[in-house]
Amino acid sequence: MLVFLTAILSTVFRIGSYLFLRVLPSAILRKALPVVYVLYVSSLYLTPTPSTETTTSVTRLEKTRVRITNGSVEEEKEEETIVREYPLEARPDPVLSVLFSIPGPARLLNIANLAINTVLFLFALDFVLYPAYDDAADVVFTRVGAVYPDSAKLVVRYPLNEANATENHVRVLWRQVSALENSAWHVGPVLNLTAADDWVSTASLGGLWPSTNYEYILADAEATPLPYPAEPIKFHTFPDPRIPTGSHFRFVVSSCATPNFPYVPFHGRRIKGFDLLADYLWPQVPSAPIQANATDASNATEATLAMKGDEVPPTEFMLFLGDFIYADVPMYFGDDVESYRRFYRRNYQSPSMRKVYERLPMFHTYDDHEIINNYVGQGNDSTPPFKSADNAFRLYNANANFDPPEHDAHYYDFRYGDVAFFVMDTRRYRSDIREGDEASRTMLGDQQLTALRDWLGRVNNTATFKFIVSSVPFTALWTYEAETDSWNPYTHEKDSLLATMHTVKNVILLSGDRHEFAAVKFNAEGAGHSLIEVSTSPMSMFWVPLVRTLRPRSERTVRRLAEVQREVEGGVVVEEVEEEVPQEEVLKYVPEGNYKWSTFEIDTRDMEHPTARLELMSDGLPVYELEIVGKPVDIRPPATGVEAFVPTGLKGVLDKLGLRPNRWF
Ligand SMILES: *[C@@H]1O[C@H](CO)[C@@H](O)[C@H](O)[C@H]1NC(C)=O
Ligand SMILES: *[C@@H]1O[C@H](CO)[C@@H](O)[C@H](O)[C@H]1NC(C)=O
Ligand SMILES: *[C@@H]1O[C@H](CO)[C@@H](O)[C@H](O)[C@H]1NC(C)=O
Ligand SMILES: *[C@@H]1O[C@H](CO)[C@@H](O)[C@H](O)[C@H]1NC(C)=O
Ligand SMILES: *[C@@H]1O[C@H](CO)[C@@H](O)[C@H](O)[C@H]1NC(C)=O
Ligand SMILES: *[C@@H]1O[C@H](CO)[C@@H](O)[C@H](O)[C@H]1NC(C)=O
């Protein structure tokens, strides 16, 4: 009996360890695994050693010996008794006995089984306790945050190793990157790094030119260069938005990252998603020798280079939509400041992430796991553990974001040429859905809501694409936990925002959090502009196999006015027809993949056909593309000419004929 119990416990433990380390690092498994392990070892200890229980078999052997000597035959008879001992139970196959951990008489196999399970247990311990014993206290790093046309924010961490040191002054030396010659370094701002602020600080570098390449290094207060960074860090200022030339650039968006998940032994500092991203952004071109006389090979190479080099615009930044750290997965270490800061240091220590942040500006928002699972702030910063979480998030990520419209806020907006972004804070102000009625709930809080509406009004006719960024999904189609931890319960605020967004051309929502990808279309009532949400995650974390959590469309419908072209004698007329469509419908759903990000390539150079091309990468491979063709936006100064005087009635008629006045001017 006990033999089977041991086998069952061991098998349960092995499956549980696999799930915990490779599939889902859940708190339930974290708590269950030690219990199962202890039970397994106890039952193994209590199992009697089967080799002592034997049975004997007695065989009689008759031996006859014949000897022939000189014609006579001599016969000799002999009898022997053979006693053999057999184990009571049949010996199981050694492979099966290791696979199903069936304790048997063979000591070696029992030890192998115990060793396997103990190693698995140590792996789980390593994964859970890694942040505590590799606390990255010494990590030195610098990265570029917000980039403006004329300035940039830089984050520096440079701890001083001397005992009792409390302050370190680090100076930034910077210069324009020139192809011709290296100019002298300009002496930039000094950062006052203090032990109290975990040796990290943010400085702003001003007086820069738009669309220009710069580089910087770090020096001590006397301007003597420091060993890190070994190579200058390069960045590229954003274009001047006042010059109406259209834009062509890429950016990357994702969320959710934890080092070394799915777990691989001895890779505690790896965040594989960032390794894949670095390979994708800056592929190591295989250094094939150029064969001057092999025409085939050379024109093939040229063709590829022409396609890639010419057409792929620069990737200018990454938007990270939260769950940058998992303060409480797989284990919560407490609500003190150090417990939070440690997780950030750990990410910046990761060689995988270093490859990316030393070359690409990153802009952040937070989500619940920077604070605690499903955090609801209710606009009260005293709600624990917000204060500690907020301190670490500010130091490492938020201080280098774009300046917020309100002092102290985490929401912000920025522009890249004629493309505008608003990044929301969906944690600090959201109300508790268990209190109050639906209409009184808020996700953003009054101030942020006003800021967002103001921004929508401002960018409406001054930006071609408008990206609205939310850490949690805007769509209500995700089920399970997302039914409460998304915009879903905030229907009133969501509907009112949607109504405004539908009056604005080319709005795209970006979100994350679900560890799945989806592109969702929001259809507008009447003639409003429909919009698309793209939700991408995880950057480097679990996804849940087998369970499908996204509904294909909403039950709610809207009556949309669609334009239908009809051929008539002498031409084509555009007619408007009304049709009933789901309010929200899924364009694409990709749950699979531990490492996902979306790349947007924005091209507004042809103002009549601005496009946003989305490429979804999953586990390092392209898996989906979506081309969003925007509507032309007249981003020149407000119309003062003829159009203003075209009576609305006439304008409607012209619209119906497909002759829009704004196409004339
Ligand atoms: C400096 O650190 C040493 C130990 O590293 C300690 O003995 C000494 O008291 C400290 N001095 C001050 C001023 O804190
Ligand atoms: C550096 O910061 C600390 C703490 O904020 C402050 O006490 C100190 O005076 C600062 N040092 C300089 C040189 O600004
Ligand atoms: C072409 O390649 C061959 C060997 O592959 C070499 O012997 C020859 O010199 C090359 N010709 C030219 C023009 O480079
Ligand atoms: C190389 O160029 C030649 C002539 O332009 C063409 O016939 C040939 O197909 C090309 N080879 C490849 C591999 O593209
Ligand atoms: C904010 O939260 C703290 C701690 O939970 C509580 O003591 C305080 O009363 C709250 N303040 C308001 C205005 O709700
Ligand atoms: C955006 O502009 C259009 C007209 O160009 C207007 O109808 C709409 O109300 C505006 N929306 C917002 C939010 O300003």
CA 85/CA 160 separation, integer angstroms: 72
d(CA 425, CA 83): 82
The total number of structural domains in the chain stands at 2
The b-or-e profile of 241-251 (16+ CB within 10 A means b, else e) is: beeeebbbbbb
More confident residue, 294 or 368: 368
Which residue ranges have their beta carbon within 6 Å of ligand 2?
167, 192, 194
Residue 56, classified by CB atoms within 10 Å of its CB into exposed (0-12), middle (13-18) or buried (19+), is exposed
- Residue 189: predicted pLDDT: 96
Cα–Cα distance, 215 to 61 (Å, whole number): 94
First-last CA distance in the chain:
88
Nearest CA residue ID for atom 8, ligand 5 = 382
Write down the pLDDT at residue 52. 53
Residue 576: give the domain boundaries: 239-629
Return the number of other C-beta atoms located less than 10 Å from residue 100's C-beta.
15
Last residue of a domain, one of 107, 133, 159: 133
Residue of 290, 293, 296 best suited for mutating to test ligand 3, as the one with most atoms within 8 Å of CB? 293
Q: What whole-number percentage of the chain has pLDDT above 90?
A: 72
Span from the CA of 301 to the centroid of ligand 3 (angstroms): 18
To 5 degrees, how large is the angle CA 456–CA 461–CA 464?
90
Rounded distance, CA 9 to CA 35, Å?
10
Q: What separation in angstroms does the CA of 417 have from each of 211, 332, 621, 650, 665?
A: 10, 42, 30, 34, 22
Q: Is the CB of 292 under 6 A from ligand 3?
A: yes
Which pLDDT does position 310 carry in this prediction?
54
pTM of the model: 0.84
Which is higher by pLDDT, 436 or 620? 620
pLDDT tens for residues 171-211? 999 999 987 777 899 999 999 999 999 999 999 999 999 99
Ligand 3 atom showing the smallest separation from residue 292 Cα: 14
The ligand 1 atom nearest the CA atom of 164: 1
Helix segments in 136-284, DSSP class H: 272-281
* Residue with CA closest to ligand 3 atom 11: 293
Is 70 touching ligand 1 by the criterion CB < 6 Å? no
Residue 192 lies in a domain: no
Residue 330 lies in a domain: yes
Separation of alpha carbons 107 and 52, rounded Å: 12
Predicted confidence (pLDDT) at residue 380 exceeds the cutoff of 60:
yes
Query: Is the domain of 342 the same as that of 480?
Result: yes
Q: Is residue 414 part of a domain?
A: yes
Q: Residue 56 — left, alpha, or beta (φ > 0 → left; ψ -120 to 50 → alpha)?
A: beta
Judgement on whether residues 110 and 246 belong to the same structural domain of the protein: no
pLDDT at residue number 660: 44
pLDDT value of position 92: 64
- Is residue 244 a part of any domain in this protein? yes
Q: Measured between alpha carbons, how far is 647 from 286 in angstroms, rounded to an integer?
A: 63
Same domain, 243 and 128: no
Residue 361 lies in a domain: yes
Give me the phi and psi of 118, to 5 degrees please. -70, -40
Mean pLDDT, rounded, for 29-35? 97
Question: What CATH number has the domain bearing residue 243?
Answer: 3.60.21.10
Which residue's C-alpha comes closest to atom 13 of ligand 2?
A: 192
Three-state secondary structure call for residue 305: helix
Q: Which ligand is closest to the CA of 170, given by its number?
A: 2
